[in-house]
């Protein structure tokens, strides 16, 4: 039988000679009441290092040197300790000798540091999104990663992409396997595109559900500098709790918070950026163009000037961003005030984006923390130049900057813009910019309040209410000197418009946690109600007496009086109601189970399918916690998990299921002409959600005390009831088309992620992360028993005039994104294309038939690879992000249009227009434009995407608690065989891989920044 010992606490701290002396001083004390214990301890034990108290202090930062407030600091073997303040500083008393300090913080790898004889210990913590000890945000709550049974990725602020970013998605670009963030251009008002585990729809939206502090928003709803963490619900079992909004994945954004007491702290972060075009297309200059004139090339004319039109419409932009926050509070009341200002200039003249983000959040705790009240007020105001009617960027400005005749002057001798109105789609690009006035102003105001009450241990009740208001006012004007007046005789053109939307959200949740011996239960039940309304009004007018009033006196145009100018208004409203339940179970932290269901109803659905059910189930096995692995020195974590879940997608049109009405012709009734109202569309009472069924199997692992962590996921998702337009008979239908649920599609793939703490020394640290993903997409069907598409395919996209051919074919058994056209194989002696016929034999392109077309490639990358490195040495840090995409093609439309001699009649050409085709001869001057495989190029690329170097300046005896300076470069180097500006093109929709000749050019960005804490 095991015997107890009365001085067991001393045994824990004493060894060897120390134990002997304890025995010596204890025996006299036990026999003499005259000698108090305190005297004995102070006289004998205090002489030993373990009893002498030493004060140790220091600073805790992340890998980039940013101070971390609230980090737990304790002496190893002790249960209590302290926490860092707002500047990441701490101070703790500890026994002398060789005691060890333990630093731990949610989302970061805990660190043990032997203090030795030091009185100052500074520590850098590495973000570990895959650590099984980390806490991640899940739908309607948080959960330890060790108990997560679904596919979830989490990125903390310390691991965000450094340098200049435009929206939240760019913070995690290259950080999450399967979440592919693409920025196809450098438009300052543009946002990133997200391709997440493939394309899952034919006609509906592809954007993921974005929740900011639990409330729906967009990637630009909150300033990037105000974000604390981003969590991604990747598979169906994780996203099913959000029902009809979860098919495209769920991104959970958590803004910066204050946890616990903190003195008033000011954080300031500012940076300035500049850009240069990543690569200029190789168009002819004036001297080279004059050689064509001398050769008598048809369509070439010399107007005597030498103009670099790209220089005329571009600049070296300078942008700046400033973020200031005030944080603080007590254990009862905490607050954060954040103000973010962004002044972004674009490469093209007059393209800009000015944004102001204010946010205030206050949290108050009452009744010993049982009641928590939170108010969160925020929003933004955005203002930018409208380069065209309804948009910030006018694509034909860039296109004409490439193709306008380089021998044309900007203005003629009389001061008028040089124009050639006899040419189609050809205008002076400087005139298009300067004879335009436009302004868009968007305002968003979000109010969010929560009441959280914990009446008994383990039970938490929460009420969330929010209101999101959005208003937009836009105006646009083309002067009397604008190309539209010279070409169309509009004599000044104006448009005005307003948009207002409102979204109200109410959610009630109850969360209960309970443990019965080895059994842990967590149950969540909730109700969600959301109502969205939308209003829009716009009008146009032209033929103005003067340009003086721009768009501010739109009624003065004579076109309105003549009944020629259009105007319109629109209003819509929809509701979404959901009930949900989730149960998590854990047995000895080894065997894990999660089951959830959401029943959701939408006013967008047909009357026969108003409600849908979205169940999910997943399970996990923490193998590392089994007894047979208890002594493993290599394996520190191992968990198998698998799940299945169903999610949905709402129709984009709130009234798609209804028989809508529209004004039609006039008819004579009782001697008066009356306008008739007729049905405009077929009703579909069976309209329902697109349903995605997803199975995911994964493993999470950690090696060598989690120096290496990672995950592997395999998934298969099948989306059924895809919406498509189908032909129907009339009668019984009123019209010959209807949108219905009938198609289906499959996506399957693999995702792998590994994080390695390669070097983990006090002064030198190196963390590296690699993630890889692959996806295979296939269209399974386009028909069901009620609606059929007999051909088994349809075509998508267009190459624009003068080619006017479809770009892609969407066909059963094939992936989305297939380029569909003629396969060019040679050129004849006269310079005309030779293509491959349907029988595989060569034929002149003049003899082409529609059935000669074939698949020419695919615009969706099959493989994505990302490589991230973070290195720090004392106060210096370096972060490098590299990423690539492989196994796809790009349609180079600038080359297709402007490497063809026939286009000389419409302007300038690429220098390669007269290169030999297939090494034989140039294209004939009269060879018409054709969409052939010659212009489809391999798009594989590898980018050194971001390099940031920073330095944390040591400070003493100054009110500044922390100061960091850094320099950064983005989109620095691209390794590719693609001949266009950038192979990174759009990856959403049905025509991925299209390098649009109008797209805003990609740029390389350079940034200088600084941040400090007061």
148 and 76: one domain?
Answer: no
72 and 114: one domain?
Answer: yes
Give me the pLDDT at residue 52, please.
Answer: 64
3 state DSSP class of 18? helix
Is the pLDDT at 428 greater than 70, yes or no? Answer: yes
Of the pLDDT bands very low, low, confident and very high (cuts 50, 70, 90), residue 660 is: confident
3 state DSSP class of 83? strand
Check: CB of residue 717 under 8 Å from CB of residue 748. yes
The answer to whether residue 900 is domain-embedded is no
3 state DSSP class of 978? coil
Boundary residue ending a domain (124, 159, 179): 124
Of the pLDDT bands very low, low, confident and very high (cuts 50, 70, 90), residue 129 is: low
155 and 73: one domain?
Answer: no
The answer to whether residue 173 is domain-embedded is yes
Give me the pLDDT at residue 39, please.
Answer: 35
* 283-315 tens-digit pLDDT: 999 999 999 999 999 999 999 999 999 999 999
120 and 148: one domain?
Answer: no
| Structure tokens that stand for 427 in this block | 């205008």
Give me the pLDDT at residue 19, please.
Answer: 32
Number of domains in the chain: 2
The answer to whether residue 188 is domain-embedded is yes
- Tell me the C-alpha distance between 249 and 179, whole Å: 9
- Of 850, 854, 827, give the one whose Cα is nearest residue 927: 827
Of the pLDDT bands very low, low, confident and very high (cuts 50, 70, 90), residue 28 is: very low
* 315-355 tens-digit pLDDT: 999 999 999 999 999 989 999 999 999 999 999 999 999 99
142 and 118: one domain?
Answer: no
Average of per-residue pLDDT values in the chain:
89
3 state DSSP class of 333? strand
Beta strands 53-61; 123-124: pairing state: parallel
**pLDDT top residue among 102 and 50:** 102
* 812-836 tens-digit pLDDT: 999 999 999 999 999 999 999 999 9
**pLDDT top residue among 281 and 678:** 281
Is the pLDDT at 127 greater than 70, yes or no? Answer: no
Is the pLDDT at 12 greater than 90, yes or no? Answer: no
* 379-390 tens-digit pLDDT: 999 999 988 877
- Tell me the C-alpha distance between 158 and 127, whole Å: 6
Is the pLDDT at 745 greater than 60, yes or no? Answer: yes
Average pLDDT over residues 42-55: 52
- Tell me the C-alpha distance between 788 and 791, whole Å: 9
The answer to whether residue 946 is domain-embedded is no
Residue 926, burial from CB neighbour count under 10 angstroms (0-12, 13-18, 19+)? exposed
Say which residues have a Cβ less than 8 Å from residue 579's Cβ, sequence separation at least 6.
Answer: 526, 527, 528, 598, 599, 600
| Structure tokens that stand for 541 in this block | 């007018």
Give me the pLDDT at residue 98, please.
Answer: 60
Give me the pLDDT at residue 64, please.
Answer: 62
Is the pLDDT at 35 greater than 90, yes or no? Answer: no
Boundary residue ending a domain (94, 124, 154): 124
- Tell me the C-alpha distance between 189 and 706, whole Å: 41
* 696-723 tens-digit pLDDT: 999 999 999 899 999 999 999 999 999 9
142 and 120: one domain?
Answer: no
Of the pLDDT bands very low, low, confident and very high (cuts 50, 70, 90), residue 800 is: confident
> What percentage of the chain carries pLDDT values higher than 90?
72
DSSP string computed for 803-852: T----EEEETTS-TTEEEEB-EEEE-TTS-EEEE-TTS-EEEGGG--GGG
Boundary residue ending a domain (215, 245, 262): 262
Is the pLDDT at 758 greater than 50, yes or no? Answer: yes
162 and 256: one domain?
Answer: yes
- Of 538, 738, 567, give the one whose Cα is nearest residue 653: 738
120 and 152: one domain?
Answer: no
| Structure tokens that stand for 779 in this block | 């269209």
The answer to whether residue 100 is domain-embedded is yes
**pLDDT top residue among 565 and 96:** 565
- Of 656, 662, 664, give the one whose Cα is nearest residue 683: 656
Handedness of CA 19, 24, 30, 35 (dihedral sign): negative
CATH number of the domain to which 105 belongs: 2.60.40.1120
Give me the pLDDT at residue 666, please.
Answer: 81
Of the pLDDT bands very low, low, confident and very high (cuts 50, 70, 90), residue 728 is: very high
Give me the pLDDT at residue 44, please.
Answer: 40
- Tell me the C-alpha distance between 430 and 410, whole Å: 7
Is the pLDDT at 616 greater than 80, yes or no? Answer: yes
143 and 100: one domain?
Answer: no
Length of the chain: 1014
* 85-117 tens-digit pLDDT: 767 888 888 876 667 888 887 667 778 888 877
Q: How many helices (H) and strands (E) does the chain have?
A: 12, 50
Give me the pLDDT at residue 163, please.
Answer: 85
Q: Give CA torsion, residues 754, 716, 590, 700, to 10 deg.
A: 0
Question: In which residue are the tokens 């989690």 written?
Answer: 706
Is the pLDDT at 18 greater than 60, yes or no? Answer: no
What are the b/e assignments for 439-476, b being 16+ CB within 10 Å? ebebbbebebebebebeeeeebebebbbebebbbebbb
Give me the pLDDT at residue 956, please.
Answer: 84
- Of 425, 396, 420, give the one whose Cα is nearest residue 313: 396
Is the pLDDT at 898 greater than 50, yes or no? Answer: yes
Check: CB of residue 531 under 8 Å from CB of residue 573. yes
- Tell me the C-alpha distance between 940 and 993, whole Å: 11
The answer to whether residue 117 is domain-embedded is yes
The answer to whether residue 31 is domain-embedded is yes
What are the b/e assignments for 45-77, b being 16+ CB within 10 Å? beebeebeebebebbbbbbbbbbbbbbbbbbee
- Tell me the C-alpha distance between 492 and 485, whole Å: 6
161 and 211: one domain?
Answer: yes
How far from the centroid of its chain's Cα atoms is residue 262's Cα?
32
pTM of the predicted structure, to 2 decimals: 0.87
The residue range of the domain holding 90 is 8-124
CATH number of the domain to which 237 belongs: 2.170.130.10
Give me the pLDDT at residue 79, please.
Answer: 65
Check: CB of residue 292 under 8 Å from CB of residue 300. yes
- Tell me the C-alpha distance between 485 and 394, whole Å: 17
- Which stretches of 524-605 are DSSP H helices? 558-561
233 and 179: one domain?
Answer: yes
The answer to whether residue 995 is domain-embedded is no
65 and 100: one domain?
Answer: yes
């Amino acid at each position: 039988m095991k015997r107890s010992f009365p001085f067991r606490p001393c045994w824990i701290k004493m060894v060897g000679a120390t134990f002997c002396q304890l025995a010596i001083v204890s025996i006299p004390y036990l026999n003499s009441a005259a000698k108090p214990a305190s005297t004995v301890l102070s006289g004998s034990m205090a002489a030993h290092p373990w009893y002498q108290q030493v004060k140790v202090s220091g600073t805790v930062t992340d890998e980039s040197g940013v101070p971390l407030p609230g980090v737990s600091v304790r002496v190893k073997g002790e249960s209590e300790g302290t926490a860092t303040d707002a500047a990441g500083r701490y101070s703790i008393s500890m026994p002398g000798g060789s005691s060890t300090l333990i630093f731990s913080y949610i989302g970061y790898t805990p660190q043990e540091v032997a203090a030795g004889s030091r009185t100052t210990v500074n520590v850098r913590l590495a973000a570990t999104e895959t650590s099984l000890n980390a806490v991640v945000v899940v739908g309607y709550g948080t959960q330890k990663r060790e108990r997560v049974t679904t596919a979830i990725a989490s990125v903390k602020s310390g691991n965000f992409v450094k340098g200049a970013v435009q929206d939240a998605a760019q913070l995690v670009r290259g950080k999450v396997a399967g979440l592919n963030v693409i920025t196809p251009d450098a438009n300052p008002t543009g946002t990133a595109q997200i391709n997440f585990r493939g394309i899952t729809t034919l006609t509906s939206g592809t954007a993921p559900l974005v929740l900011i502090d639990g409330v729906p928003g967009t990637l630009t709803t909150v300033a990037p500098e105000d974000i604390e963490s981003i969590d991604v619900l990747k598979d169906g079992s994780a996203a099913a709790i959000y029902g009809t909004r979860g098919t495209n994945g769920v991104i959970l954004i958590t803004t910066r918070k204050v946890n616990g007491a903190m003195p008033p702290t000011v954080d300031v972060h500012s940076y300035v950026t500049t850009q240069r075009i990543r690569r200029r297309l190789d168009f002819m200059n004036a001297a080279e163009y004059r050689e064509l004139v001398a050769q008598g090339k048809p369509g070439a004319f010399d107007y005597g000037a030498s103009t670099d039109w790209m220089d005329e419409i571009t600049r070296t932009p300078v942008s700046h961003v400033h973020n200031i926050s005030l944080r603080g509070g007590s254990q009862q009341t905490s607050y954060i005030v954040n103000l973010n200002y962004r002044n972004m200039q674009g490469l093209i003249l007059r393209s800009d984006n000015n944004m102001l983000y204010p946010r205030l959040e206050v949290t108050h705790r009452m009744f010993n923390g049982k009641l928590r009240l939170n108010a969160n007020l925020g929003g933004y105001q955005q203002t930018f130049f409208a380069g065209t009617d309804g948009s910030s960027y006018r694509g034909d400005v860039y296109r004409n900057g490439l193709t306008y005749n380089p021998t044309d002057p900007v203005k003629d001798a009389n001061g008028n813009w040089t124009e050639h109105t006899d040419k189609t789609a050809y205008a002076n690009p400087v005139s298009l910019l300067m004879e335009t006035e436009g302004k868009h102003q968007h305002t968003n105001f979000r109010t969010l309040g929560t009441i959280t009450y914990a009446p008994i241990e383990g039970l938490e009740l929460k009420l969330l209410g929010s209101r999101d208001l959005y208003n937009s006012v836009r105006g646009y004007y083309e002067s009397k000197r604008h190309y539209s007046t010279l070409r169309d005789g509009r004599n000044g053109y104006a448009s005005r418009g307003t948009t207002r939307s409102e979204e109200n959200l109410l959610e009630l949740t109850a969360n209960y946690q309970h443990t019965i011996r080895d059994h842990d239960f967590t149950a969540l039940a909730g109700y969600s109600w959301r109502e969205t309304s939308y209003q829009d009004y716009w009008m146009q007018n032209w033929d103005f007496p003067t340009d003086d009033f721009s768009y501010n006196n739109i009624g003065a145009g004579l076109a309105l009086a003549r009944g020629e100018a259009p105007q319109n208004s629109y209003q819509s409203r929809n509701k979404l109601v959901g009930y949900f339940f989730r149960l998590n179970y854990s047995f000895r932290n080894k065997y894990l189970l999660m089951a959830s269901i959401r029943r959701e109803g939408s006013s967008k659905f047909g009357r026969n399918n108003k409600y849908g059910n979205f169940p999910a189930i997943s399970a996990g096995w923490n193998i590392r916690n089994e007894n047979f692995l208890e002594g493993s020195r290599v394996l520190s974590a191992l968990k198998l998990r698998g799940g299945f879940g169903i999610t949905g997608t709402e129709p984009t049109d709130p009234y798609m299921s209804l028989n809508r009405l529209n004004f039609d012709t006039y008819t004579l009734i009782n001697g008066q002409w009356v306008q008739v109202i007729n049905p405009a569309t077929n009703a579909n009472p069976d309209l329902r959600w697109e349903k995605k069924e997803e199975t995911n199997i994964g493993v999470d692992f950690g090696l060598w005390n989690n120096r290496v962590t990672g995950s592997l996921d395999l998934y298969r998702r099948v989306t059924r009831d895809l919406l498509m337009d189908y032909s129907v008979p009339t009668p019984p239908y009123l019209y010959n088309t209807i949108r219905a649920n009938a198609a289906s599609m499959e996506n399957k793939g693999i995702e792998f992620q590994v994080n390695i703490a390669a070097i983990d020394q006090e002064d030198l640290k190196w963390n590296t992360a690699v993630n890889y993903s692959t996806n295979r997409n296939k269209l399974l069907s386009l028909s069901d028993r009620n609606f059929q598409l007999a051909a088994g395919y349809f075509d998508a996209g267009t190459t624009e005039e003068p080619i006017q051919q479809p770009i892609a074919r969407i066909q059963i058994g094939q992936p989305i994104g297939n380029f569909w056209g003629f396969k060019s194989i040679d050129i004849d002696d006269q310079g005309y294309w030779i293509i491959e016929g349907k029988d595989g034999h060569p034929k002149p392109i003049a003899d082409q038939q529609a059935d000669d077309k074939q698949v020419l490639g695919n615009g969706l990358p099959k493989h994505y690879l990302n490589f991230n490195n973070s290195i720090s040495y004392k106060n210096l840090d370096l972060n490098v992000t590299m990423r690539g995409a492989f196994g796809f093609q790009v349609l180079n439309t600038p080359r297709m249009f402007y490497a063809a001699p026939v286009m000389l009649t419409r302007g300038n050409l690429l220098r390669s227009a007269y290169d030999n085709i297939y090494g034989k001869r140039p294209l004939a001057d009269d060879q018409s434009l054709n969409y052939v495989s010659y212009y489809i190029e391999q798009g594989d690329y590898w980018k050194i995407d971001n390099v940031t170097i920073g330095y944390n300046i040591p400070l003493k005896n100054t009110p500044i608690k922390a100061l960091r300076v850094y320099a950064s470069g983005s989109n620095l180097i691209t390794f590719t065989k693609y001949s266009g500006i950038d192979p990174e093109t759009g990856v959403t929709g049905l025509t991925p891989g299209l390098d649009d000749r109008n797209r805003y050019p990609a740029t390389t960005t350079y940034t200088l920044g600084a941040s400090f804490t007061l």
